[in-house]
Amino acid sequence: MPTTTPSASTQSNSSKATAGWIYGLIGMLGFSLTLPATRIAVAEMDPQFVAFGRALVAAVPAVLLLLVKRAPMPRGSQWRALAGVALGVVVGFPLLTAWAMQSVPANHGAVVIAVLPLATAVIAALRNGERVSNGFWIWCILGALLVTVYALGRGNGQLHLADLALLGAVASAAWGYAEGARLTPILGGWRVISWALVLSAPPLAFALALGPRSGLQPVSAQAWLAFGYVALISQFLAFFAWYRGLALGGVARVAQLQLLMPFCTLAASAVLLGEQIPASAILFAVLVLGTVAMGARFGQPR
């Protein structure tokens, strides 16, 4: 009898952690096409149009979903947290990556963005009070170092001005992920991103109206498809699974799945942009996958 309750509790926690990893993986795969699709879009569209327009398009199904589900209005401090989500993942990350994708290849952006899991884990630990083992931090840093070595090798040690924008995008997304994960147990992942889109829609519409009119130029179907992807998948549907995964499995742990995103992005770039996947990418993907697996093993709360 005494061992029944702890055993059931342990099994329940294990099931939640597994579900968190599954939801997180689905969300990560949805995000992995963001940089190639953004690069295709900004080749023919103004980056501000892509960044702000994708949020306005995503706000339409967000409003409809909130109305159909009769979602209650957020209250009090929830609005402040939603503002943080909006500034991070609706405004900051899309705008900075769209600008950077005009100057650097998608594969370069992918490896710089690879530090996002570490940034998310740090913010989660500082902002949300998550406590994880020292072993987790060791594997987390090792994974980030592996990705950094790979990035330097592919870039021949060269740095671009766009790297500052990409690092700013990392900070924006990490803050938005951490804030969204705090709200998800209360509001649900779909309500978090939906309300963030609704909150940001008026100022973004105003900014877009005052922006350049290059979006009026003829644009190919491929560019519109890429824009549609970042609007409906990257900016909306992928967040449903991602925030759910962060809430169930813990922000610091599940965020490490994004260490694999550079290699998923490379594969997408090969299909969408015709880029060759070097053998080193496969090797580093295996190594990084090992750090993610070990980080999950050592990433139990202290």
280-287's contacts with Cβ under 8 Å and 24+ in sequence apart are 280/150, 280/153, 280/154, 281/150, 284/146, 284/147, 284/149, 284/150, 285/260, 287/146
Q: What is the pLDDT of residue 157?
A: 62
Provide DSSP, 116-178. Answer: HHHHHHHHHHHHS---B-HHHHHHHHHHHHHHHHHHHHHHTT---THHHHHHHHHHHHHHHHH
Secondary element (H or E) of residue 29: helix 4-31
Show the CA angle centred on residue 282, arms to residues 278 and 286, nearest 5°.
Answer: 160
Rg (CA), the chain: 19
Residue 134: other Cβ atoms inside 10 A:
8
Structure tokens that stand for 248 in this block? 């169930």
Half-sphere exposure of 217 (CA within 13 A, CB side): 11
CA dist., res. 107 & res. 265, Å (int): 7
- Amino acid identity, residue 267? A
What angle in degrees, to the nearest 10, is found between the helix axes of 34-42 and 106-113?
Answer: 140
Instruction: Give the pTM.
Output: 0.80
E strand residue ranges, 72-130 = none
Structure tokens that stand for 101 in this block? 């994708």
Distance between terminal CA atoms of the chain?
27
Identify the three-state secondary structure at position 219.
coil
Length of the chain, in residues: 302
Per-residue pLDDT of the chain (302 residues; tens, 9 = 90+): 454 455 666 666 778 888 888 999 999 999 999 999 999 999 899 899 999 999 999 999 999 999 999 989 998 889 999 999 999 999 999 999 999 888 877 777 777 777 787 777 778 777 767 676 788 788 878 877 887 787 677 666 665 677 788 889 989 998 998 888 888 888 887 899 999 999 999 999 998 888 765 545 788 999 999 999 999 999 999 988 888 888 888 876 787 787 788 888 888 888 887 777 777 777 877 787 787 777 767 655 54
Provide DSSP, 59-71. Answer: HHHHHHHHHHTTP
CA dist., res. 288 & res. 144, Å (int): 8
Match 């260490």 to its residue by tokens. Answer: 259
